Chain A
Amino acid sequence: MNVTILLLTLLVGAIATYLSGKKPAAKVALFFGLVAFVETIALICQHNAGTDAGYMTQWIANPNIHIALKADGLALALTLLTTALTPIIIFSSFGDHIEKSNTFYALVMFMCFAMTGTFLAADGFLYYIFWELSLLPIYFLALLWGNDTFEIRKNVIFKFFIYTFAGSLFMLLGFIYLYTKTGSFLLHDLYNAQLSSTEEYWVFLAFFLAYAIKIPIFPFHTWQASTYEKAPTVGTMLLAGIMLKMGLYSIIRWQLPITPSAAKEIMPTVIILALIGVVYGSIVALKQANIKRFFAYSSLAHVGLIAAGAYTLTLDGLKGAVLQMIAHGFVIVGLFYVGEIIYKRYQTRMIGEMGGIRQQAPKFASAFMILMFASIGLPGTFSFIGEFNLLFGLSQVNIWYAIVGGTTIIFGAFYMLRMFQKAMLGETNTIVFADLTTRESAILGILAIAIIFLGIYPKPIADLITPSLVEIVSYIK
């Protein structure tokens, strides 16, 4: 069994969902999502048993393009994140009234397909195709099913599309340049490309622009908050939970090993940029009134720290980055879902209009609290493992990086607790807030259990990713 089956499942799932008609669309999508999840688990077991699940065949002879899929631990870990979150995200929207639901869920499945492909691709050209393909579904999801009026939404989504797309084009340029140097798009050949230091520098920058916009790293983040706000919650979850990780993953998979000496040279600058993002995002989050924008800025702070860790070029930093990517994926999806639950009850996303919910909905409050404390990296949650590794990696480069990056644990507590107090605590709200339904408890429960279990026993994930990261670090050195 190899990873093509997984990709085909997702693609077939997308088509089947579209064809299935409006009523059963959600269920069909969920079914294929779960199948993909099971397949991912099977692939990981197979990988742990020592069988390579990769796939490679020539696609186009001239230019020399392959369909190459590399299924090492790193790629599988991110694939697991994607296929684990997709069913959860689909399930979370059950029962919502969605126009043209078959198209909606087909786009979700297609996006999952494209993102999985991005994580697995080991040929620059194929990777670029998947990278751009993943942008199309989210564009339509946000444009057609988003919040607010179409006119306002259109501008925001259009900006997001053009901005990220423009960044990606620079990456394409980088790949084409590399092709002229090596005559191949294959990951392995690109790793061994002989580049002069100026060439490396420019290729690094071309890649950086694409990733910095996608992640986003300060100051390229301006699309983020408004897009999160306008996109439907399912889209926001896909964006924040999985799509951001494409950029972070690509740094580790593509950018650093291809341009190691440029990375070493530019490292301080990008780490500082990322750390500015950490502090900046945390501070801006303090004054956000809309809960989705609030989570967007908290996300900016978190991914800033992840990016900073990745750019330390140390094994600890990279490992922390990957662990935190997965942890952040689970946590942020949960948090957006929490926002959506409140919205369904109160028809508002303004934090100031909430309050006094905990008394009425203790189960919901507990789930929210677990997610919140996971978000601020409380030990015992998965986020702490990642955060510890990240900060430890940063401290090996320069202790001040760790101190500045570490302010996230103070600021994180500050803005999160402040928001929680405003949204949940205080005198019982006059509007009735029904406690969690079975479906909602199931989703939040799964997320909470995953976060806590992996926080106490992160070894399965850590062991999965470590060999690939060791290999990547060996290319960087």
Chain B
Amino acid sequence: MENVIEIIGIEKYIYLSIILFCIGVLGILYRRNAIVMFMCIEIMLNSANMLLVAFSTFHQDAEGQVFVFFTMAVAAAEVAVGLAILVTIYRNIGSIDIDKLKNLKG
């Protein structure tokens, strides 16, 4: 089977990953809705995952893909905990707008 990397080229994956990551970062910075911010974090994580997979194939080394599984597992756990926290916050203050969450100020 032909190597996918030879068809598309590693640099394309890198560009895509950078674009996805920047979208994630900008989303985090500009959006105030906690759920959207969560999704942005997932985008950032997945951009990194994609890059890991791409390089894994490029180097003919499976270690990168192993990492991705770990990352996904951790992300899943994080989402579970994070969403639970969000639900609790919503119950308490009736909103998930992060601008309203200022209780931890110094």
A and B in direct contact, judged by CB atoms within 8 A: no
B residues with a Cβ closer than 8 A to A are none
A residues with a Cβ closer than 8 A to B are none
